[in-house]
């Protein structure tokens, strides 16, 4: 168990060191997310629609799109020089590889979101300070589900010739529950409602997280083995 | 599945005959036997295609799910063939649902598309299994493709209840649209509607098994041709 | 040194029986049998597509055989026992190294994955062994092909495996680099490690092996003791064997 944890930690650590050295992933994800928000703002007439109504949707679209960039890169990194194969040679449980990659994807996304939220607040002129705790909880739950399913699918799509195209095509329809749920919850929270009034959505997203983390652990062996 | 696993030298004329009879019976029931619904008129008859198509699509994806699990467990090509065939058939019927839905909606509500829970879920389902087939089309034949497809087949089906509830609750936050419910079933004042729907369901189910057996046979033939070609290639 | 981790039995280091592997309808391996004792060095020759890489993939438990059994260090490869993985080191033409990390970070990472104790010290030790200590903090991306290959030796031996698989290690190396690689392989061989190397380079392959084998179209077409093979005449023997087996 100790060995397992130190392996997961080593994978996360490796991804962080790589990111600290190259600074490629974070900057491209963040800039892309801001651009997505900007494009949506241009396409919506904010004098007709209220910002707090469309804001959550735009925020989550930005997160999902930017997250896809990160996922695409995550396993591309492992493919360069055949590193994934080297990793597979080691006495490491395949689920440890999954958890390591999932947690580093999750961490990168959460950091990116931490920077994105102030931008969102300014662009849409919404006050998030008063509902920060439930908002962060919702963002965490949604991002967790996205990272779990996204890591599973990017481990799969990274072996395809058309990986950059196939990842979103596979991922987005499966992400519908998270997309709808997170947008609904974020919207309600910004309207000042309490999270306890929307336990059905919270339950749905938690179910998503649990189901797809479990499904990933059960199937990752088959994806990673040759 | 027993129909689908029939030997290649037996094209399953029995099943074919049975399906033909059932389809004829269903057509008879839909267009001759069942009286025209009073409020919606003749267009309501589309329900007898719409509902069975939805049932078959769902059933087909369930078979994909089962065969995907069996494939990952047993690693036998058979299960991969079944999953593939069932996904293709599922997509065909899922497309039929998405076509007949708007056709039915337009004369009744005056719009082609309503973001109703059932129709929206079906659309998402359609996208998932189109992605599944794209994944298959884009990877080389072999065990890797089969494994990847199986993972999507499993993950996709597990997602269905979540999609269903998310889309359902999503709609309830908005002004109530006119829902497509299965208003024909049970609430119809005539039992003839029920009988017709049952006959149609039976005919579609038989059609599914017939298509499965044909598609599986085709895939096996492809395998055989591939094998013979490889053998010839090696022996020269 | 290699006996520090005893295997469950003291039989041959590698035992392969009737291994077959097919990808779809393509048969990469069509029944391979051989045995390699501890400390033996096998050079495996064969044309492209003969199944050499597939064989190494199976023996290192990356690929599952379609049928047949293979035991490495006494473990069945189908079980993919973690203890078996600890006995195996693989050097391939891909380096398995993260280009943006330094040698130290790379090797320490792999040491951690193998559960090596005092990972940092051990990493420095093996990097020193392959003569890359001066560049221990540089980015691997800046390394030449020869340095990469040396670093991948360090990666492969960081957990002190008793069995090494080398998949065309000489590919893409200049004379100087392949000279250094040779010296290092010799050191590994005298350490009593069991080595299986595939190569297209006859002289490199023959210069230190105990066994010579030729794999053609997924079958062993030749298996000889090294002293039965005349290096000067090997090219003719190789071409004849390949021609006959086809």
| pLDDT tens digits along B141-170 | 888 899 999 999 999 999 999 999 998 888
The β-bridge partners of C195 are C41, C164
Q: Does C9 score more than 70 pLDDT? A: no
pLDDT of residue A168: 95
Look at residue B211 in the predicted model and tell me its pLDDT.
94
| A7 at interface of C, judged by CB pairs closer than 8 A | yes
The verdict on a CB contact (< 8 Å) between C88 and A89 is yes
Collect all residues with Cβ–Cβ distance below 8 Å to C190 and sequence separation of at least 6: none
Contact C139, C69 (CB under 8 A): no
C76 three-class SS? strand
Kind and range of the H or E element at C197? strand C194-198
Dist. CA B112–CA B107, nearest whole Å = 9
- H, E, C per residue of C19-67: EEEEECCEEEEEEEEEEECCCCEEEEECCCCCCHHHHHHHHCCCCCCCE
Q: Could you tell me whether strands C41-45 and C26-36 are parallel, antiparallel, or unpaired per DSSP bridges?
A: unpaired
For residues A57, A62, A68, A74, the Cα torsion angle rounded to the nearest 10 degrees is -130
Contact C25 B227 (CB under 8 A): yes
Q: Which residues pair with C212 in a beta bridge?
A: C43, C224
Question: Which pLDDT tens digit goes with each residue over A9-31?
Answer: 999 999 999 999 988 889 999 99
What integer pLDDT is reported at residue B31 of this predicted model?
85
pLDDT on residue B170: 85
Rounded to an integer, the average pLDDT of A81-95 is: 92
Q: What is the pLDDT of residue B2?
A: 43
Q: Is the pTM of this model over 0.95?
A: no
Boundaries of every domain in chain B: 45-235
**Contact criterion met (CB below 8 Å) for C36 and C12:** yes
Under an 8 Å CB criterion, which residues of C touch A?
57, 60-64, 82-83, 85-86, 88, 90, 92, 94-101, 105, 109-110, 112-115, 139, 155
Q: What is the pLDDT of residues A157-199, one digit of tens each?
A: 988 888 889 999 999 999 999 999 999 999 989 888 888 888 8
* Average pLDDT value for residue range A73-94: 90
Residue B62: alpha-carbon gap to chain centroid? 9
Eight-state DSSP code of residue C223: E
- The percent of residues above 70 in pLDDT, for chain B, comes to 86
What is the predicted pLDDT for the residue at B236?
A: 59
Per-residue pLDDT band for B11 (boundaries 50, 70, 90) equals: low
Cβ-Cβ contacts under 8 Å, C217 against chain B:
234
| DSSP summary character for residue B32 | I
pLDDT at B59: 96
Of the residues A145, A150, A177, the best mutation for testing chain B's interface (the one with the most B CB atoms within 10 Å of its CB) is A177
Cβ burial of C159 (10 Å; 0-12, 13-18, 19+) is: buried
Nearest to A83 among C57, C64, C96 (CB): C96
Out of C83, C85, C109, whose CB is closest to A89? C85
CB contact under 8 A, B223 and C25: yes
pLDDT digits (tens, 9 = 90+) for C46-92: 888 888 999 999 999 988 898 999 999 989 998 888 899 999 999 98
Has residue A114 got a pLDDT over 50?
yes
pLDDT tens figures, C219-232: 898 898 888 888 88
Closest CA to B91 of B52, B121, B120, B53: B53
Helix, strand, coil percentages in chain A from 3-state DSSP, rounded to 5: 85, 0, 15
Dist CA A201 CA A197 (whole Å): 9
- Say if the Cβ atoms of B128 and A173 lie within 8 Å: yes
CB-based burial label for A90 (10 Å; 0-12, 13-18, 19+): buried
Rounded Cα–Cα distance for residues B125 and B140 (Å): 25
pLDDT value at A57 more than 80: yes
Nearest to A198 by CA among A182, A177, A175: A182
Separation of alpha carbons A183 and B191, rounded Å:
44
Ordered alpha helix ranges (H), B110-190: 117-138, 143-172
Q: Would the pLDDT of C93 be above 80? A: yes
| A162 backbone dihedrals φ, ψ, rounded to 5° | -100, 50
Give one DSSP letter per residue of B41-98, joined into a string.
BGGGGGHHHHHHHHHHHHHHHHHHHHHHHHHHHH--HHHHHHHHHHHHHHHHHHHHHH
Greatest mean pLDDT range, B105-109, C113-117, C183-187:
C113-117
Residue A208 has pLDDT above 90, yes or no: yes
pLDDT at C5 over 80: no
List Cβ neighbours of B149 (8 Å cut-off, separation of 6 or more): B68, B80, B83, B84, B132, B135, B136
Mutate to test the interface with A, among C98, C117, C120, C158 (most CBs of A within 10 A): C98
Look at residue B1 in the predicted model and tell me its pLDDT: 41
**Model confidence band, residue C171 (pLDDT cutoffs 50, 70, 90):** confident
Residue B92 has a pLDDT of 96
Q: Which of A171, A169, A172 is closest to B134 using CA atoms? A: A169
- Print burial letters for B165-190: b (CB count within 10 Å at least 16), e (below 16): bbbebbbeeeeeeeebeeebeeebee
Average pLDDT, chain C: 87
User: How far is B82 from C148, CA to CA, in rounded Å?
Assistant: 46
Measured between beta carbons, which residues in chain C are less than 8 angstroms from residue A77? 98
pLDDT at B133: 96
Do the Cβ atoms of B155 and A204 come within 8 Å? Answer: no
Give yes or no for a contact between B194 and B186, defined as CB atoms under 8 angstroms apart: yes
Q: How many CA atoms lie within 13 A of B44 on its CB side?
A: 18
CA distance C228 to B107: 88
Q: What is the CA radius of gyration of chain A?
A: 18
Mean pLDDT of chain A, nearest integer: 91
pLDDT of B13 higher than 90: no
Cα C85 from chain centroid (whole Å): 13
B172 band by pLDDT with thresholds 50, 70 and 90? low
> How many Å separate Cα B215 from the centre of its chain?
14
pLDDT, tens digit (0-9, with 9 covering 90-100), for B180-201: 444 444 444 568 888 888 899 9
Cα separation of C105 and C97, whole Å? 10
In this prediction, residue C10 carries a pLDDT of: 58
pLDDT surpasses 90 at C28: no
Checking phi first, is residue B32 left (phi over 0); if not, alpha (psi -120 to 50) or beta?
alpha
Distance from C-alpha of C20 to C-alpha of B42, rounded to nearest angstrom: 63
């Amino acid at each position: 168990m100790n060995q397992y944890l130190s392996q997961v930690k080593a994978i996360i650590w490796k991804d962080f060191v790589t990111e600290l050295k190259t600074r490629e992933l974070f900057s491209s994800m963040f800039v892309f997310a801001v651009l997505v928000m900007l494009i949506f703002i241009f396409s919506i007439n904010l004098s007709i629609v209220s910002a707090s109504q469309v804001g959550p949707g735009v925020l989550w679209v930005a997160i999902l799109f930017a997250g896809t960039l990160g996922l695409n890169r995550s396993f591309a990194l492992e493919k360069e020089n055949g590193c994934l194969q080297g990793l597979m040679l080691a006495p490491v449980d395949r689920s440890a590889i999954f958890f390591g990659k999932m947690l580093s994807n999750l961490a990168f996304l959460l950091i990116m979101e931490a920077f994105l939220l102030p931008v969102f607040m300014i662009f849409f002129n919404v006050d998030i300070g008063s509902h920060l705790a439930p908002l962060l909880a919702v963002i965490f739950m949604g991002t967790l589900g996205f990272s779990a399913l996204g890591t599973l699918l990017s481990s799969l799509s990274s072996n395809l010739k058309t990986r950059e195209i196939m990842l979103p095509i596979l991922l987005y329809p499966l992400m519908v529950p998270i997309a709808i749920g997170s947008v609904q919850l974020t919207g309600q929270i910004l309207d000042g409602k309490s999270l306890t009034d929307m336990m059905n959505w919270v339950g749905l997203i938690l179910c998503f997280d649990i189901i797809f983390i479990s499904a990933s652990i059960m199937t990752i062996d088959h994806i990673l083995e040759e | 599945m027993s129909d689908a696993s029939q030997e290649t030298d037996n094209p399953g004329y029995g099943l074919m005959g049975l399906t033909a009879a059932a389809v004829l019976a269903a057509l008879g029931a839909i267009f001759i036997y069942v009286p025209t619904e009073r409020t919606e008129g003749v267009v309501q008859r589309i329900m007898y295609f719409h509902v069975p198509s939805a049932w078959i699509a769902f059933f087909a994806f369930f078979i994909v799910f089962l065969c995907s699990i069996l494939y990952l467990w047993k690693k036998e090509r058979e299960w991969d063939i079944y999953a593939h065939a069932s996904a293709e058939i599922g997509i065909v019927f899922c497309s039929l649902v998405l076509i007949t839905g708007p056709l039915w909606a337009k004369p009744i509500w005056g719009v082609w598309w309503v973001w109703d829970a059932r129709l929206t879920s079906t659309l998402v389902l359609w996208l998932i299994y189109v992605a599944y087939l794209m994944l298959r089309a884009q990877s080389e034949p072999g065990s890797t493709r089969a494994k990847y497809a199986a993972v999507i087949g499993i993950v996709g089906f597990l997602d269905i209840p979540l999609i269903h509830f998310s889309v359902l609750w999503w709609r309830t936050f908005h002004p109530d649209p006119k829902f497509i419910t299965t208003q024909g079933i049970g609430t119809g004042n005539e039992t003839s509607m029920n009988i017709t729907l049952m006959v149609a369901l039976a005919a579609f189910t038989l059609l599914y098994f017939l298509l499965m057996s044909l598609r599986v046979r085709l895939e096996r033939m492809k395998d055989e041709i591939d094998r013979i070609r490889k053998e010839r290639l090696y022996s020269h | 040194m290699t006996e520090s981790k005893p295997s469950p039995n003291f039989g041959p280091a590698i035992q392969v029986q009737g291994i077959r592997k097919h990808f779809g309808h393509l048969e990469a391996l069509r029944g391979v049998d051989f045995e390699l004792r501890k400390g033996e060095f096998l050079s495996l020759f064969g044309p492209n597509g003969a199944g050499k890489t597939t064989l190494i993939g199976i023996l290192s438990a990356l690929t599952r055989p379609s049928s047949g059994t293979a035991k490495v260090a006494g473990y069945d490869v189908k079980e993919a026992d973690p203890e078996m993985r600890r006995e195996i080191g693989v050097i391939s033409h891909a380096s398995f190294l993260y280009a943006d990390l330094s040698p130290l970070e790379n090797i320490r990472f792999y040491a951690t994955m193998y559960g090596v104790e005092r990972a940092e010290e051990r990493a420095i030790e093996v990097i020193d062994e392959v003569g890359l200590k001066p560049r221990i903090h540089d980015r691997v991306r800046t390394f030449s092909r020869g340095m990469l290959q040396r670093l991948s030796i360090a990666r492969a031996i960081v957990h002190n495996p008793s069995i090494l698989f080398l998949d065309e290690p000489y590919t893409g190396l200049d004379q100087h680099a392949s000279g250094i690689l040779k010296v290092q392989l010799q050191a590994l061989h005298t350490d009593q490690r069991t080595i299986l190397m595939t190569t297209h380079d006859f002289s490199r392959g023959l210069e230190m092996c105990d066994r010579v084998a030729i794999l053609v179209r997924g079958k062993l077409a030749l298996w000889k003791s090294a002293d039965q093979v005349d290096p000067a005449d090997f090219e003719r023997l190789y071409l004849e064997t390949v021609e006959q087996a086809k």
